Amino acid sequence: MEIFGVPLQAFLGQIILGLVNGAFYAVLSLGLAIIFGLLRIVNFAHGAFFMAGAFVAFILGRHLNLGYWSSLLTVPVVVGLFGVLFERLFLRRIYGLDPIYGLLLTFGLVLVIEGGFRVAFGSSGHPFPSPPELRGVWNLGFMVLPVYRAFVIGVAIVVCLATWFIIEKTQVGAYLRAATERPDLTRAFGINVPLLLTLTYGSGVGLAAFAGVLAAPIQHVYPSMGSDLVIVVFAIVVIGGLGSIMGSAITSLGLGVIEGLTKVYYSQASTTVVFLVMALVLLLRPAGLFGREET
């Protein structure tokens, strides 16, 4: 059996791989969506933090002999703390201004971070081995799936669900949602909104770094690894509907699959297809697939 000239088995394989990539996008877009939802900041530095996550893991591994698992836990915290610092010192000053300023400020940060790593570590990359526990492949019959890729899907699903749970089912999440809707009223109820903003930015950045550590064994670690990623992920968030967390997660997986199939049928366009989808969605469903029209 064939689908448009591609055997069914290969087709299934491509869909699974698309989901793996979608899982990455999901972890990245979650952070981006939360940050935009609450701070109204387009965090253009998301890709740079993704790269920084991979690099910090690499540095910790080389100099402190930190293993993969400890890196996976510590790196998001380290990079997240940097995010907190950035929010406190810089981002804070531009709240309430047009979102374009947030985009520009973080764009400047991208240049600084990427340039910095390039000066310090050179432009070509460094190897990052996958953890020994997750090496090898599973033979699914129609394809071989590296264990590590399966692990990535699993982790991404857990992270998405955990984020959803925190936002929808916990007290902090309730504050967060309240602050997103009406920051002034939330503050009037005595909730420390500035702290909430800081923590949100820190966690969003931490998620990006987490994705970076996840990606390090699949790619290698190099300064431009996140530079084109950010516009793709941001497109996903826009398609899903700015501020809609589940929307971003679902769109991420969907787009991962669309991108994967494009790689089979018209591979040259695989990095462009996301923009085609975004243009179409925005013109047909102005607020994105899962977003609400804003006034």
Partner 1 sequence: MVKSLRISLAASAALAFSALPSAAQVSDDVVRIGVLGDLSGIYNDLSGKGAIEAVKMAAEDFGGTVLGKKIDVVSADHQNKPDVGAAKAREWFDTGGVDLINDLANSGVARAVAGVAREKKRHIIVNGASNMGITNELCSPYAIHYAYDAYSLAHGTGKAVVEQGGKTWFFLTVDFAFGIGLEQQVSNVVRANKGRVVGAARHPLATTDFSSYILQAQASKAEIIGIASTGADAVNAIKAAVEFGATKNQKLAALLLWIEDVHSLGLPAAQGLLLTNAWYWDMNEDTRKFAKRFFDRVGKMPNMAQAADYSSTMFYLNAVKAAGTDDPDKISAKMREMKVNDMFTKDGYVRADGRFVHDMYLWQVKTPAESKAPWDYLKPVATIPAEQAFQPLSESTCPLVKK
Partner 2 sequence: MLVLLKRSLILAVVAALLAVPLMPHFIYPVFAMKVMCFALFACAYNLLLGHTGIVSFGHAAFFGTAAYVTGYAMRELGLPPEISIAAGVIGSAGLGAAIGALAIRRQGIYLAMITLALAQLVYFVFLQAEFTGAEDGMQEIPRGVLFGLIDLRSDFNLFYVVMALTGAGLWLVYRIVNSPFGEVLRAIREHEPRARSLGYAIEKYKILAFALSAGLSGLAGSLKCIVFQLASLTDVHWHMSGEVILMTLLGGMPTVFGPAIGAILVSALHHYFDALGAWVTIVIGLIFILCVLVFRRGVAGQLHHMLQERRPTAPSAERRNLKEGQHAQV
Q: Is 131 in the site for partner 1 (CB under 8 A)?
A: no
Binds 65: which of partner 1, partner 2, none (CB < 5-8 Å by kind) = none
- Window contacting partner 2 (CB under 8 A); options: 75-83, 156-164, 191-199, 266-274: 266-274
Q: Is 187 in the site for partner 1 (CB under 8 A)?
A: no
Q: Is 88 in the site for partner 2 (CB under 8 A)?
A: no
- Window contacting partner 2 (CB under 8 A); options: 77-85, 162-170, 184-192, 227-235: 227-235
**CB–CB of 212/31 below 8 Å?**
no
Q: What is the largest CA-CA distance in the chain?
A: 63
- The end-to-end CA distance of the chain, in Å, is 49
Q: Is 46 in the site for partner 1 (CB under 8 A)?
A: no
Q: Is 112 in the site for partner 2 (CB under 8 A)?
A: yes
CA distance 120 to 178: 42
Residues 6+ apart with CB under 8 A from 38: 176, 179, 180, 196, 197, 200
Q: Is 279 in the site for partner 2 (CB under 8 A)?
A: yes
- Window contacting partner 1 (CB under 8 A); options: 55-63, 156-164, 181-189, 257-265: 257-265
**CB–CB of 264/225 below 8 Å?**
no
Residues 6+ apart with CB under 8 A from 22: 252, 253, 254, 255, 256, 257
Return the H-helix or E-strand segment holding 110.
Answer: helix 99-121
Q: What angle do CA 236, 229, 258 make, to 5 degrees?
A: 50
Residues 6+ apart with CB under 8 A from 130: 68, 148, 217, 218
Q: Is 21 in the site for partner 1 (CB under 8 A)?
A: yes
Q: How far is CA 253 from CA 15, 28, 29, 98, in A?
A: 10, 12, 11, 30
Binds 17: which of partner 1, partner 2, none (CB < 5-8 Å by kind) = partner 1
Q: Is 99 in the site for partner 2 (CB under 8 A)?
A: yes
Binds 112: which of partner 2, partner 1, none (CB < 5-8 Å by kind) = partner 2
Q: How many CB atoms lie within 10 A of CB 141?
A: 8
Residues near partner 2, by CB under 8 A: 40, 42, 90, 93-94, 96-101, 103-105, 107-116, 118-119, 231, 234-235, 238, 242, 268-269, 272, 275-276, 278-279, 282-283, 286, 294
Residues near partner 1, by CB under 8 A: 7, 10, 13-14, 17-18, 20-21, 115, 118, 122-127, 129-130, 137, 143-144, 146, 148-149, 215, 218-220, 222, 224-225, 227-229, 260, 263-264, 267-272
